[in-house]
Amino acid sequence: MWERLRDWVRERREHLNLFDETLVARQDNPMYLLGPLLYYFWLITVVTGVVLMIWYEPTTAGAYTSIERIQREVPLGWLIRGLHKYAADGVILTIILRIYRMYFLGEYKKPGELSWMLGFLGLILAMISGITGYLLIWNQRAFWAAKTVLTVPVYFDELPVIGRMGFGSMIAYIFLGGPAIGQATITRFYAIHFGISLVLLILIEVFFQRTRRKRINMSLLPIVLFLAMLVVISYILPAESGRRADPTRTPLPILSDWYFLALYQYVKYTPPLWAGLGPGLLIGYGMLVPFLDRSKGRRPLERPFFFVVGVMALLYFLAFTTLILFNIAVIEREPFIIMNLTAVILVLAFLWELRYRRRQRTAAPPPAPAAGGAAGH
């Protein structure tokens, strides 16, 4: 078994593409610029983050003041902070688009399973890095956004058997460092935010050193253009500081960075148990989809069930994000409709998949007769 697993990893590792670094010939399609752009935005985020550490104070008393000092008093502090924020947004955006490209084009199929799984894991780590970095501003919006996100793991305790172990509360406590958001939380978030980047930086550098591949495998023009774009956005829309965190005043609605907004609307809609299970199931599906999808085709309509799931995830993300931005939620009516509609669509998609596969088997030519049997006649 271990030998088979080792062979599986060795074969996939030879075709590993962390940033589309071997797909340069396909860069006439902009979707294949997403890999090098992801690395580029991530590099800017790391470098500017290290510079910001010079002035940032990771304490509940000094965090907000140090952010204001960076924004208004430190020479070019607004630019460094703006590049850090918008390049981090660029990391999330490019990795999401790349994940969708790989999903709809079936790039997670053999031998791309490992590339897909590492890419999906990268998305999860990027979102954890995002929420931990978001709290470091210590403003009203970040404080309540972190409080909402850290409520989600606690819902796991509603599970019939596992819930008794207090697994969800333990996850929340690890991040909080206590019963509520405070100094221990900001210290842990600071360490996690920095630690994720440090560990990934070391691992990725080892990967590039061993494979001798080029890190940013694209021409100079997009590099310059996207850097100019980040500078202009940082000037026109300076990274906001908001108001200092106040645990006694709850803002309505509670909003976070854009990539967590859909999750907030989902939490509003669902019972506590499903609020915890839903994100966990989605992560499990994402990591295991190369092994769940046993179809041979790579085009979207050759994988009906997986195509429908991908479209639904995209539509729900857009719809839920819009609804929470406008603070729209009819709790008595919409959750029932959404959950039943989702179940019906998934069942229909599954039946579509079965029907498509049956038609494929019927249309397939019969196997050729064996050589020995033909000679006997």
pLDDT of residue 227: 95
Stretch 260-272: mean pLDDT? 84
- Cβ(87)–Cβ(41) below 8 Å: yes
Task: Report the b/e string of 305-341 with b at 16+ CB within 10 A.
Answer: bbbbbbeebeeebeebbebbeeeebeeeeebeebeee
Contacts of 75 (CB under 8 A, 6+ apart): none
Beta pairing partners, 244: 139
pLDDT exceeds 60 at position 118: yes
Ranking 70-74, 116-120, 332-336, 353-357 by mean pLDDT, the lowest is 332-336
pLDDT of residue 257: 85
Phi first, then psi: what are they for 139, rounded to 5°? -110, 175
Which residue in this structure is represented by tokens 């603070």?
Answer: 327
pLDDT exceeds 80 at position 148: yes
Tokens of 12: 């996939």
Residue 375 confidence class, pLDDT cut points 50, 70, 90: very low
Contacts of 306 (CB under 8 A, 6+ apart): 103, 289, 292, 293, 295
Residues of the chain above pLDDT 90, percent: 53
pLDDT of residue 85: 95
pLDDT exceeds 80 at position 301: yes
Q: Which helix (H) or strand (E) holds 218?
A: none
**Of 80 and 334, the one with more pLDDT:** 80
- Cβ(177)–Cβ(192) below 8 Å: no
